[in-house]
Amino acid sequence: MDFIDYYKVLGVDKNAKPEDIKKAYRKAARKLHPDLNPNDKEAHKKFQQVNEANEVLSDVEKRKKYDKYGKDWQHGEAYDKARQEQSRAYAGGGGQSFSGGNEEDDFSDFFSSMFGGGGKSSSRGQSKFRGQDYNAELHLALSDILKSHQQTLTVNGKNVRITIPAGVENGQKIKLKDYGSPGVNGGPNGDLYLTFVIKDNHHFKRLGNDLYMNKDIELYDAVLGGDVTIDTLTGKLKVKIKPETQNGSKIKLKGKGVPVYKKEEEFGDLIITWNIKIPVNLTEKEIELFTQLKDLRP
């Protein structure tokens, strides 16, 4: 656990007056507050540090203690004694820090060790009305989104049974009402925002509802036509190769893509790009025959 220089975090001098600290804090908050930096984890992390620094430096008692022990906060009986006595006094108490937003308002180990856990209140000394929102990611395979199905997740010790809708897009968010942090003083709970992270699988890449894949075919099938077996997401499928198929040409298999979101009966397409394999290690006979073919071409 490292010492945190709260003065440095807020960018103020050690002799800074309370109004300077307040000013520095507000300035930092206007840059880093989660309300102004949606989905920016780095800004949220920095804001936590700023909030913590303000929690300590804007509270006369906490600042006094922080200044007294400073870098030697881990040593000395006097400090330990003071910590035990004061931790009770500070727990649940509050300096002046911002509330709300989506930030996780955990305090650092350094803060908890020195002040015995963090208590927050808004700058207007009011209780919070609504619990915080949580953000989480759910990683799924492409094959998991073919049909709507239910899955049980554990969020902060609570089991949540959710329906994963067929055709859900990578990066799409759903809101699970009331599964966020509990509300305060009877207020409503926050919400849980779940982001779906869907990986392309080994064979397919997805774009919207369509799937794309490359398929190797033999030169002779490309020239003369033939059949090839394709692995789709729902099973194997025999596909005809037209004679004189060109390398890199595409075919579309209608309805073999992923389901359309909220329209489970409709599907996207599977687009196959043909990749013609040129034979190698030719025998003398093959070279002879290829040469004959070459000579036949005008």
Partner 1 sequence: MPNENLIDAQICCTHYNIEYSFIDSLQQYGLLQISTIKEERFIPSNELQKLEKLIRLHYDMDINLEGIEAISYLLDKVENMQSEMIQMRNRLRLYEEE
Closest alpha carbon to 178 in 188, 167, 164:
188
Cα four-point dihedral sign 94, 96, 101, 103 = negative
d(CA 46, CA 10): 11
- According to the binding rule CB under 8 A, does residue 44 interact with partner 1? no
Per-residue binding string, partner 1, 173-212, x by CB under 8 A, is ---------------------------x-x--xxx----x
- Assign 65 to helix, strand or coil: helix
Of the two residues 24 and 114, which places its CB atom closer to partner 1 in the complex?
A: 24
Task: Give me 100's structure tokens.
Answer: 């709300």
Closest approach of Cβ 285 to partner 1, in Å? 37
- According to the binding rule CB under 8 A, does residue 91 interact with partner 1? no
State the residue for tokens 């727990």: 91
Per-residue binding string, partner 1, 137-176, x by CB under 8 A, is --------------------------------xxx-----
φ, ψ dihedrals at 296, nearest 5°: -75, -25
Give the Cβ contact number of residue 143 at 10 Å.
12
Of the two residues 108 and 170, which places its CB atom closer to partner 1 in the complex?
A: 170
- Pick from 15, 42, 77, 124: which binds partner 1 (CB under 8 A)? 124
Give the Cβ contact number of residue 91 at 10 Å.
12
- According to the binding rule CB under 8 A, does residue 101 interact with partner 1? yes
Report the interface residues with partner 1, using CB under 8 A: 26, 29-30, 33, 35-36, 38-39, 98-101, 122-126, 129-130, 169-171, 200, 202, 205-207, 212
